[in-house]
Amino acid sequence: MKVADVFHVKNPEIRALHLTWIAFFITFYVWFNMAPLASSMLKSVDWLTADDLRLFAICNVALTIPARIIVGMALDRFGPRRVFSVLMVLMSIPALVFAFGNTMTQLLVSRLVLSSIGASFVVGIHMTAMWFKPKDIGFAEGFYAGWGNFGSAAAAITLPTIALQMYGGEDGWRWAIAQSAIVMAAYGVYYWFAITDGPEGTVHRKPRKAVALEVSSWGDMIKLILWTIPLVGVLGILVWRIENMGYLSATGAVISYAVIVAIVAYQIIQILRVNVPILKKGVPEDDKYPFNSVAALNSTYFANFGAELAVVSMLPMFFEETWSLSATAAGLIAASFAFVNLVARPMGGLVSDRMGNRRFVMLSYMFGIAVGFGLMGLLNSNWPLIIAVGITVFTSFFVQGAEGATFGIIPSIKRRLTGQISGMAGAYGNVGAVVYLTIFTFVTPTQFFYIIAGGAFISWLLCMMWLKEPESGFSEEYQLSSVDRQIEEEERRRKAAVAT
């Protein structure tokens, strides 16, 4: 696949790619529609405080992690067209409630529910994998993610103008947020009718059970349990932060911790229920896949996307305070980290396609992240600003490229489990953001950059040890196993029985 192919919109797969990245763009636009309007909200709502907005910011990511896991399961059962459309329509409801909410409870609960929209990313990853061949998947996934992810930056650029100029008045911010929600709902309906789950004749490969990821060995099952615990356990950090801010009582915190433990226990039970019968029966050799590769890619997304989310939130203040810049100038410079996404992430996928070795590309990008953040740790006011900006762009290039390379590998690990594997890796990106942002409250920016560099280096080591080159990574079609064919045959018989 060539870069110029993205302009051939009459091709069904290219049309599907554009329809899907636009859907992702809109969902991220809605997800990040609060921060650009924060000052307008404080002026309009006299009982609202800056601390309240910080709490809303925490709530805005709270349910994204479990939502990505749940959506990953739903994808493998219902397909991406239905899931994406339903997600956009349903999430417009809490967005509208937030827009016109008049009490703390309404704003808090609606923002908490709306955080589930962050799971939209993994839906498009699955849809794109259904439309593109393994040899082209890196660039297609990178283009989808790079341009779709720009929705957050577009919200920051356009929403203040829409609120102040288009609507104006004290309630301008409300109508700006409501407008974005209405557009998302309308596009959700359109998406349902405008696209299919892959080209005509595509078979939707489903797992035997959608409630937990299938594995190939007893050892892999233990690893899956160990890698599942942090996905929900990290919510304990958010509970701790909310309690420390004074918005949650000690009793409420204990109840929250108990719920988190119960959810973790439930997930472990589901893993055992799904995998113990399969492992007792025996997994055919042609159906086995390396879970170590999944674990390695969880670590890469923790270290690249997690770092991006964390750094973007602190970079403007870092430039402002270190080089005595105005808030506007610092914000524009920090925005370079997001703008690089438009090119670097598709390029990461493209390089993964062209090099003929996806593992080597992944290792190169992760090492580049470690070097880049190591250099950022050296920055201080004695460095020329232009050099500092150059290092920031250099680092961002590797961060975004690594994100593209990660999802250039995932669809080829195990075709019928793409939704669940994508959901897990995507969730680890949010885990990384929560962990890094929590660490940032205790360290200086210099120490913070070094810690992120260390995280990237650890991920690089894990990839060296665990990541395997996918067998069908550059094939015309995804590799099918005897179990895939058995599931397909059982589904065909079921449909035939229903029809008669």
Structure token pair of residue 375: 């250099």
CATH class given for the domain over 293-467: mainly alpha
In this prediction, residue 126 carries a pLDDT of: 86
Residue pair 21/143 in contact by the 8 Å Cβ criterion: yes
Q: What's 411-431 look like in SS3? A: HHCCHHHHHHHHHHHHHHHHH
Share of the chain above pLDDT 70, in %: 95
Q: How confident is the model at residue 14 (pLDDT cuts 50, 70, 90)?
A: very high
The mean pLDDT of 21-50, rounded to a whole number, is: 88
Residue 1 has a pLDDT of: 61
pLDDT of residue 209: 67
> Which of 459, 409, 468 shows the shortest CA–CA distance to 216?
468
CA atoms within 13 A on the CB side of 322: 24
Class of domain 6-199: mainly alpha
Most distant CA atoms of the chain, gap in Å: 78
pLDDT in tens, 295-330: 999 999 999 989 988 887 788 788 888 898 876 677
Find which of 127-136, 378-387, 399-408 is predicted with most confidence, using mean pLDDT: 378-387
Q: Could you give the CA distance from residue 184 to residue 92 in angstroms, rounded to a whole number? A: 7
Task: Quote the pLDDT of residue 473.
Answer: 58
- Higher pLDDT: 300 or 348? It is 300
The span from the CA of 306 to the CA of 103, in Å, is: 32
Residue 421 CA to residue 397 CA, distance in Å, equals: 25
Residue with tokens 């950059």: 449
Report which DSSP code applies to 198.
Answer: S
Dihedral angle, C-alpha 298, 299, 304, 305, nearest 10 °: 40
Domain boundaries, the chain: 6-199, 208-290, 293-467
Q: How confident is the model at residue 475, as a pLDDT?
A: 63
Q: How many C-beta atoms lie closer than 10 Å to residue 190's C-beta?
A: 15
Q: Residue 55's pLDDT is what?
A: 82
236 token code pair: 């304990």
The pLDDT assigned to 372 comes to: 96
Residue 478 pLDDT > 70: no
Q: What is the pLDDT of residue 207?
A: 67
**Distance (Å, rounded) from C-alpha 401 to C-alpha 472?**
21
Q: What is the CA radius of gyration of the chain?
A: 22
Weakest-pLDDT range from 184-193, 194-203, 212-221, 490-499: 490-499
**418-440 vs 64-78: helix crossing angle, rounded to 10:** 170
Q: Within 10 A of 336 (CB to CB), how many other CB atoms are there?
A: 14
* 453: confidence class by pLDDT, cuts 50, 70, 90: very high
Rounded Cα distance between 18 and 15, Å, is: 5
pLDDT score recorded for residue 17: 94
Determine the pLDDT at residue 308: 86
DSSP assignment, residue 3?
A: G
- Calculate the CA dihedral of residues 22, 23, 26, 32 and round it to 10 degrees: -120
Residue 437 Cα to chain centre, angstroms: 16
Q: What per-residue confidence (pLDDT) applies to 134?
A: 81
* Contact call for residues 377 and 450 (beta carbons, < 8 A): yes
Separation between Cα atoms, residue 279 and residue 274, nearest integer Å: 9
Q: Tell whether the model's pLDDT for residue 415 goes beyond 80.
A: no
**For residue 187, what pLDDT band results from cuts at 50, 70 and 90?**
very high
Rounded to two decimals, the pTM is 0.84
Mean pLDDT value of segment 181-188: 97
CB count within 10 Å of CB 11 equals 12
* CA–CA distance, 138 with 128 (Å, rounded to integer): 10
The answer to whether the Cα torsion of 320, 323, 324, 325 is positive or negative is: negative
The DSSP result for 115-168, as a single string, is GGGGGHHHHHHHHHHHHS-GGGHHHHHHHHHHHHHTHHHHHHHHHHHIIIIII-
Question: pLDDT above 90 covers what percent of the chain?
Answer: 42
What does the pLDDT average to over 140-165?
85
Beta carbons of 452 and 373 less than 8 angstroms apart:
yes
Q: Is 6-199's fold the same as 293-467's?
A: yes
- Dihedral angle of Cα 294, 295, 299, 304, to the nearest 10 degrees: 0
pLDDT tens readout for residues 200-251: 766 556 666 667 889 999 999 999 999 999 988 888 988 898 888 888 899 9
Give the per-residue pLDDT at 485. 78
Residue 55 neighbours by CB under 8 Å, 6+ apart: 108, 242, 245, 247
What pLDDT score was predicted for residue 201?
A: 66
Q: How far apart are CA 160 and CA 37, in angstroms?
A: 6
Asked whether residue 84 carries a pLDDT value surpassing 70, the answer given is yes
Out of 14-23, 98-107, 127-136, 467-476, pick the least confident: 467-476
Please give the average per-residue pLDDT across 56-73, as a whole number.
82
pLDDT digits (tens, 9 = 90+) for 358-391: 899 999 999 999 999 999 999 999 999 999 999 9
Q: For 96-116, how does the pLDDT look when each residue is reduced to its tens digit (9 = 90+)?
A: 999 999 888 899 899 989 999
* Average pLDDT value for the chain: 87
